[in-house]
Structure 1
């Protein structure tokens, strides 16, 4: 009796749960179908108006331009119809790293478009536009793509070159059409790439045939941005690599209230960018030496780093590997900076041995000088941009250089030439060190002329014809270079056997690390530890 009652209770309970689950699914399907139908109707309405406008616009052009003079087929780029609607570019704010401050400003734009009442409460005005500037590859267009996905409003895109036409008045017409459609779909965002194509400073050059058409287009853009009739709930985002050529009236507050300058990423930002581009790849982070990676990627843009990770995957595939390791990333970096490597047999020819001893001279003195940056590696594997090369561990954030560090650098640069003289003989000295000598003269001259690091205190400008000042400068340069030259020659002359051992080691390994160079030198004499000026 009790068991039967117990089973009935459980049966009713399970039946109620199943019914509730079915009802929930039906209601969700109903809501989904309702949303889909509303979206379909809205999209259909937009497409109707877009096609209607395209027909009217084409009819206007057909009536106003004489087609008989030009036999070529007239084509029209309908930029104002390509970017309508909520655009999903596949890029979100989570896909962006290294530009956190600029990203915060763009998130505020999204908030302003979706919740404008928050600004009205505090009496603030929603910004009208933002100008993105910076070198190519720093992420200006990428930010616009992420904003198009995250904003949830109509996103209209246009390139500055699309407004430039040979027909008078067509550029201004396109500007009016773009903002008219932006108002129709408001709240909306307009993104104009390469703004310098139409926003250049106005001139009075009478020989420039295109200046009148470009100025009409620019004037129309100025009116639309901040004219008598305001475009409410329309936000303008523009990008350019040349902000210095833009017209002052275009970039003033009220048109572009903000200017975001995207600079090259620093060490921390480069690591974050590499991490973002590693998410969808099979990588082994345990093998990564991030200090070496960020040092070799100095002055790389975000686009460069994305390409590096892709090239690292291709290098792993070429080697038959399924994961990206540290050596794949470094090979991609070297390939990007210095070109393809030579993987064949390296013959010990007369020219090759001169390059080897020249490079070992740099590596030897850099190791012996306590105030010179440490060596990471020296390689004799030739690439398109060098025959041999020594890589140093430098700190890009430490931009302060002292006198003793300049002296160490000059001595290291002279050591390559000195090594050829001491090891191979005076008759075998070559022209390999020509670039090194140019750097030596430049550094020593800057020590005297720009930084006043010597006893010479000239009261005048160099090169202004004062023979006494020029004589003092030449004499001081001769003293510094002679001191560094004698220092390098004394060290190299005392370590001839060390040079021959390093030459045999580097021919066997083809690439040796700074620790291997230090250990080889310490077999015969102690090496002073690296020191800091501070």
Structure 2
């Protein structure tokens, strides 16, 4: 038994300790229960009957039944009867209580004043013999019940605050003791603690893992680098879109580094009290230096690292700015910071202060991009491990059909596919479950119960058929996969594409993409000779693309190779536009000409393929969905119908940007 006790870990001992301890709350409860019981049972007047002076004079004094009278606290009189009287023998109040041997009074009377009561009593006993006169005594008593009526609420408040301070002191409740509000709330993953996440769980991101693993290797084997005169990087900034794995890499570092790892969110530094943020920064680095070598991870650092001076011109004192100043001092100030590496993550690097990003503070900037097809395949393999898959699930096809998806999106697809399969009472997850999950995540849940009139349904069918026909016959539009008029989310229909993964877009690709967006509105005008509000989203996207093409990318000949895009964000503080009124008028004119030219080209293409447009619309009205096989049957193999007649509409002056704008 002794050997077993010595082998127990501190964690096990800590978990068993409360079970053998004593809960002091019971002492408080027993104490107050005793006071209440003592107050109730020790009161000798609890059963006395209230009487008036008339009853005292006519029924008690005249019949000589009173043994004695005790005046208590000059407020009321206790009347005791003689034991030989019938009233005393029949009364239940003559018994003594549990805490006192004093006989209880039978009657009680409130007196106005001592002098008046004594004068009345003296007149009433004027004919009595001296031996028959009633003995009057005076007493001062403490009524515990009355005292407790104001002591008990105060005591309850004191106990409540003692309990709250104890909870806060143990790290519960509001997050820390009031005396420790300036202390850091960072969570510590100490050396030797096993983590569930390692670099093996981080799929893709090969370059990012290589740089982060070098930092971990430096902490494990510093002599390999220091013998050549190298210095450890002070900070590593992880930058990337949401869901690309920034926090996951930090968790992997905590599992692989085998050094103390402090993790904290940027918003935890800022409090409602002035100076708390800076104090927590100091305390965080103090704790990290005590456990050097160590790693500090600050997630969402843009909460405190926003550029100073932006939007703060009307604020006299900014707590966030004070916190940032203290962080800059700790990263690269006069004090030593040896052996402490700071990891930070953000998806908004454009708003961070330049002083925070300079070398010497955050020496390395690691950019995490959206995964490529090969990286998505690796991510799928990680998230498919816990699922029971059918044989028809093709990981390569899943990666190909999910372009632009982040790691978090892929994890959501896998989980949603399993939920869909379980909802249908399946034993395995099939490939079509993943496709249904992708459609639900991208477009929203199907709303088959949504009632649409026949006229609206025809409009939606021709609208989506217009998108499909235009994108099918334009070679630079992404591959069309499916067309549906089943309502999903806020949309009444959708055309599903398989985007190509490309880094740059040519003018002809810009033009074809804009025509495909305008295909729905053009189809409504051609078929019904009337347009509807269903093309709002298409027009919004097209207008933004055209303005970006003219004013940002310099793709218009009349405006010229000019760009008014501000990547630094400094123009946000400027009221107005960074160009003249004449330039603004020219930009508006060229944008309008670009969109109108693309619209006329789209109408001409649909007029040429009017029969295919009608056939596809009728198919959608009957089946609601047109798969790729149906599209090839109606429109033919894609790429075989591109003619010179279609190509003559390509105007080199008409070009748009890609769909990401």
The two structures share one fold, judged by TM-score above 0.5? yes
Structure 2 CA distance, aligned partners of 1:210 and 1:285? Answer: 63
Q: Partner residue of 1:520? A: 634
Q: Partner residue of 1:223? A: 329
Whether the aligned pair in 1 keeps the contact of 2:266 and 2:298 (CA below 8 Å) is yes
Structure 1 or 2, whichever has the larger Rg, is: 2
1:389 Cα deviation (Å)? 1.5
1:491 aligns with 2:609: yes
Whether the aligned pair in 2 keeps the contact of 1:201 and 1:247 (CA below 8 Å) is yes
1:141 Cα deviation (Å)? 1.5
| SS in structure 2 at match of 1:143 | helix
TM-score, length of structure 2 as denominator length: 0.60
| SS in structure 2 at match of 1:335 | helix
The worse-fitting range, judged by mean Cα deviation, of 430-439 and 228-237 is 430-439
Structure 2 CA distance, aligned partners of 1:514 and 1:438? Answer: 28
Structure 2 CA distance, aligned partners of 1:126 and 1:516? Answer: 61
Q: Partner residue of 2:520? A: 416
1:386 Cα deviation (Å)? 1.6
- Do the aligned partners of residues 210 and 264 (structure 1) sit closer, same or farther apart at CA in structure 2, a change above 3 Å counting? farther
| SS in structure 2 at match of 1:385 | coil
Matches within 5 A, 1:48-447: 74=178, 79=184, 82-86=187-191, 87-203=193-309, 208=315, 210-211=317-318, 213-284=319-390, 286-288=392-394, 290-291=396-397, 293-298=399-404, 300-344=405-449, 349-397=454-502, 399-403=504-508, 405-406=509-510, 408-409=512-513, 411-423=515-527, 425-426=528-529, 429-437=531-539
Structure 2 CA distance, aligned partners of 1:452 and 1:239? Answer: 33
Whether the aligned pair in 2 keeps the contact of 1:358 and 1:420 (CA below 8 Å) is yes
- Do the aligned partners of residues 339 and 226 (structure 1) sit closer, same or farther apart at CA in structure 2, a change above 3 Å counting? same
- Do the aligned partners of residues 295 and 76 (structure 1) sit closer, same or farther apart at CA in structure 2, a change above 3 Å counting? farther
Whether the aligned pair in 2 keeps the contact of 1:518 and 1:527 (CA below 8 Å) is no
Structure 1 CA distance, aligned partners of 2:322 and 2:475? Answer: 64
Q: Partner residue of 2:620? A: 506
Structure 1 CA distance, aligned partners of 2:433 and 2:550? Answer: 44
Tell me the number of residue pairs that the alignment of Structure 1 and Structure 2 aligns: 464
| SS in structure 1 at match of 2:414 | helix
Structure 2 CA distance, aligned partners of 1:294 and 1:94? Answer: 23
| SS in structure 2 at match of 1:377 | strand
Aligned-residue CA RMSD in angstroms? 4.3
1:328-372 deviation line (CA, Å, top 9, x unaligned): 222222222221112448777111111112212222333344554
| SS in structure 1 at match of 2:384 | coil
Whether the aligned pair in 1 keeps the contact of 2:331 and 2:337 (CA below 8 Å) is yes
| SS in structure 1 at match of 2:296 | strand
1:471-497 deviation line (CA, Å, top 9, x unaligned): 8986787566434423322321xx1xx
Structure 2 CA distance, aligned partners of 1:472 and 1:233? Answer: 58
Whether the aligned pair in 1 keeps the contact of 2:198 and 2:253 (CA below 8 Å) is yes
Whether the aligned pair in 1 keeps the contact of 2:522 and 2:599 (CA below 8 Å) is no
Whether the aligned pair in 1 keeps the contact of 2:235 and 2:362 (CA below 8 Å) is yes
Higher helix share: 1
Structure 2 CA distance, aligned partners of 1:414 and 1:488? Answer: 11
Structure 1 CA distance, aligned partners of 2:599 and 2:433? Answer: 41
| SS in structure 2 at match of 1:83 | strand
| SS in structure 2 at match of 1:192 | strand
Higher relative contact order (CA 8 A, sep 6+): 1
| SS in structure 2 at match of 1:249 | helix
Structure 1 CA distance, aligned partners of 2:515 and 2:186? Answer: 64
- Do the aligned partners of residues 325 and 215 (structure 1) sit closer, same or farther apart at CA in structure 2, a change above 3 Å counting? same
Whether the aligned pair in 2 keeps the contact of 1:445 and 1:477 (CA below 8 Å) is no
Whether the aligned pair in 2 keeps the contact of 1:367 and 1:518 (CA below 8 Å) is no
Gaps of at least 5 residues in structure 2 are 15-164, 167-175, 563-578, 648-661
TM-score, length of structure 1 as denominator length: 0.73
- Do the aligned partners of residues 223 and 484 (structure 1) sit closer, same or farther apart at CA in structure 2, a change above 3 Å counting? closer
- Do the aligned partners of residues 229 and 278 (structure 1) sit closer, same or farther apart at CA in structure 2, a change above 3 Å counting? same
1:513 Cα deviation (Å)? 1.9
Whether the aligned pair in 1 keeps the contact of 2:550 and 2:590 (CA below 8 Å) is no
Gaps of at least 5 residues in structure 1 are 1-29, 45-60, 63-71
Structure 2 CA distance, aligned partners of 1:469 and 1:161? Answer: 42
1:253 Cα deviation (Å)? 2.1
1:303 Cα deviation (Å)? 1.9
